[in-house]
Structure 1
Amino acid sequence: MKELKDIVTAFDIAEKNGLQTALATVVHVEGSSYRRAGARMLITENGQLTGAISGGCLEGDALRKARLVMAQSKPMLVTYDTTDDDDAKFGVGLGCNGIIHILIEPVFTAKKDNPIQLFKKFLSRREPVVLITLFTMNDKQAAQPGTCLLLNKDKQITGKFPDEAITTDLLSDAMDVLQHGNSVTKTYLYGDKFTCFIELMQPAVSLVIFGAGNDAIPLVQIASVLGWQIYIVDGRSNYAIPERFPQAQKIITSKAENVLEHIVIDERTVIILMTHNYNYDSCVLKQLLPLKPSYIGVLGPQKRLQKILDEFAQNGEKTSPELLENVFGPAGLDIGSENADEIALSIIAEMQAVLKTRTGTSLRYKTIIHNRMPQQIIQQPMLKQ
């Protein structure tokens, strides 16, 4: 999300300065690579790069090809094959043992639904969408349609398909991705052979921090680096001030019983209770439990949280395992944290793991890091005679 925002900002600056731009997108990966499909980089004619498509290995070559794309005003599909152990012959030294397909397309400012405009449409509303990018791998000299369409949950379409023949199947697959949450790559055989990257794009993570103490400052700083939307809530007006939290989108001073009047909670919201005020945290937690956010972290020892839950039970409040499933206390992963900065890191790491449905296991114990689904082929239906 942060990368996409940075790309949009860089494009606006380039457009203001009259510079041509091109967008490089990783559209398909076979085997291992540093970045997955959906990684993007904006390239300006004067060589400025925003975003990344690799760990730095491909950017130089992509810049050269992007300048050609801008000069010819024609998209290009570039393939980097590093399955050979001696990948130094490619001049990029990837060492990833994978095949990376990158689409480089010029961004035409006069085009109503150019990729940047589609990004802006997505960023303007807090809802998941599907972004569709079409290309062809069997004939790289053929036309590469590129980033062409945005679809939301209400089936509203921004942009259009270059080939109306595939519209029905493609829209059906796009809605399936939107409902089930997994990006896919499919090839459609309808006269021309198009491969389609159907990408689920999620809104930024919304982090709500209850507590404006000094230990909240590093939490805000780390979340800001990730591009999360940050909200600070506290009952103390002398603590909850912009000077202490310049990266926060909103700072709210509220009594505990009124906090839900000021925040919106959705499936991309994570919450941490760290006011160090037992009564405040208890009151807020009681209101949050029925809403079942993706993550509720509670700072402090486990016995403190258990005391709160015991009081809920004594007062007839529901504390079923289902309601407590996403409550994490003490908050954070076990990384040996001691000071506020380290504790903030462990909390953010746990939030990320929960959002991605991961356990926080060291990668050294995993045989597969990213589960890449095989490409699917959709055949053109037979016509009845």
Structure 2
Amino acid sequence: MKEIRTIVEAYKSIDFSRTQAALATVVRVEGSSYRRAGARMLVLDDGTYLGGISGGCLEGDALRRAQKGIALGRSSVITYDTTEDDDYQIGVGLGCQGIVDVLFTPLRPGSAGNPVEILSGLTDIRRPEVLLTVTGSPDQGGLGRTFVGDAGIGGVEAFAGGFPGLEEKMAADMRTCLEDRVSRTVEYGENRIFIEVILPAIHVVAYGGNYDIRTLLIQVKEIGWDSTVVLNASRADRSLSRAATRVMDNREPGLPAIDAYTAVLLMSHDYRTDMENLKKVLPSAASYIGMLGPRKRADKIFDAMAEDGYLLGEADRRRIYAPAGLDIGAATPEEIALSILAEIRSHFSARNGASLRLRKGSIYGHPL
């Protein structure tokens, strides 16, 4: 989501009376590649660009392709094959061993189907959305058409006038992509459609106002996630408040916005405060609840809650990470924040946080 937000903000600042632009989007990857389907690069006609579609090996050629698309005023799809040891092939010697399809789309402000303007409406979503893009069609004029769909037949029928006889198949493919949280390109006869799953940014809600939260919030911001810090606003350091996306006074009633893509962190360093905050957030939809401190501290809190009638079920215990963080030997506030955020990432990716060298098969999988 960070790349999408950055591109949208940059697009909004373009003076189109003086400058033209195009969007390069990875729409299919076969084999290995540094970036996956959905990676984007905003290109201006003066040669500057933002974002990336590879580890740097394809950007030079992609820049020229995008400028050509701007000049001709039409979309195109270029295939980069890095599997062949060919001196004339882009990516030679890089060892990527993958095939990458990149869609180049000239951007026209206000035009129907402008992909960046469509993406601008998805930057703050809190549930997964599906983006449909035509990446292959006998009608070359329709190449690059983009539409926000839903998993129902109605959404498919509205897409570019409909695909007669394919509505149910396309709707089923959209639902499969949503369930798997995976984007993929699907062929329907002579038509090729990139079904992209756009997922919400992870939202971190941190309870506490101590200095160690600031470094965590700075890392959250750099990653591109959202954050809310809940604290005593009258005593809060201004730099801490500036590091968060949102600030909520802990004396206000109710909870911050918490959904299935939210990770809650209890970081008050006060036993009773953390216990009361845990009671508050347990009924929420948060799938990750992290607590600082040793395991015996957490057990003490659980026992005290049980005495008060708050019995933790198996589902609750699975979503409570105490102590929070991966076992990386973290000692400083910065390292502890890194440990916690890595665990949050692995939680939402359904990974175990182990070394990639131990993983069987592709290093890419269920994403968020």
Q: TM-score, normalised by structure 2?
A: 0.91
Q: Is the 8 A contact 1:28 1:100 kept in 2?
A: yes
Say whether residues 1:38 and 2:31 are aligned partners. no
Cα distance change of structure 1 residues 372 and 301 upon mapping to structure 2, 3 Å threshold:
closer
Say whether residues 1:226 and 2:223 are aligned partners. yes
Match of residue 79 from structure 1: 79
Cα distance change of structure 1 residues 24 and 315 upon mapping to structure 2, 3 Å threshold:
same
SS of residue in 2 equivalent to 1:304: helix
Return the alpha-carbon distance in structure 1 between the equivalents of residues 285 and 312 of structure 2.
12
Q: Is the 8 A contact 2:330 2:336 kept in 1?
A: yes
SS of residue in 2 equivalent to 1:62: helix
| TM-fit CA distance, 1:295 | 0.8
What are the Cα deviations for residues 153-201 of structure 1, in whole angstroms up to 9, with x where unaligned? 7988597326532444323432443355333321101xxx112121111
Match of residue 20 from structure 1: 20
Q: Is the 8 A contact 1:223 1:230 kept in 2?
A: yes
Cα distance change of structure 1 residues 156 and 209 upon mapping to structure 2, 3 Å threshold:
farther
**Which has the higher mean CA deviation after the structures are superposed, 167-176 or 286-295?**
167-176
What are the Cα deviations for residues 193-243 of structure 1, in whole angstroms up to 9, with x where unaligned? 11212111111111101112111111011100111111111236312x443
Match of residue 243 from structure 2: 247
Cα distance change of structure 1 residues 335 and 149 upon mapping to structure 2, 3 Å threshold:
same
Return the alpha-carbon distance in structure 2 between the equivalents of residues 281 and 174 of structure 1.
41
Return the alpha-carbon distance in structure 2 between the equivalents of residues 208 and 87 of structure 1.
50
Alignment of 1:47-86 (within 5 A): 47-84=47-84, 86=85
Alignment of 1:101-250 (within 5 A): 101-136=101-136, 142-143=140-141, 145-152=143-150, 160-161=159-160, 164-165=163-164, 166-189=166-189, 193-235=190-232, 237-239=234-236, 241-250=237-246
Q: Is the 8 A contact 1:130 1:198 kept in 2?
A: yes
Return the alpha-carbon distance in structure 2 between the equivalents of residues 43 and 101 of structure 1.
17
RMSD: 2.4
Q: Is the 8 A contact 1:290 1:323 kept in 2?
A: no
Cα distance change of structure 1 residues 238 and 120 upon mapping to structure 2, 3 Å threshold:
same
Q: Is the 8 A contact 1:76 1:144 kept in 2?
A: no
What are the Cα deviations for residues 297-337 of structure 1, in whole angstroms up to 9, with x where unaligned? 10111111110001111222121111111111111001111
Q: Is the 8 A contact 1:77 1:144 kept in 2?
A: no
Aligned amino acid, residue 164 of structure 1: F
Aligned amino acid, residue 296 of structure 1: I
SS of residue in 1 equivalent to 2:33: coil
Aligned amino acid, residue 197 of structure 1: F
For structure 1, the residue ranges without an aligned partner over 5 or more in a row are 374-385
Q: TM-score, normalised by structure 1?
A: 0.87
Match of residue 317 from structure 1: 310
| TM-fit CA distance, 1:370 | 4.1
Q: Is the 8 A contact 1:25 1:103 kept in 2?
A: yes
Cα distance change of structure 1 residues 368 and 176 upon mapping to structure 2, 3 Å threshold:
closer
Say whether residues 1:340 and 2:338 are aligned partners. no
Q: Is the 8 A contact 1:131 1:147 kept in 2?
A: no
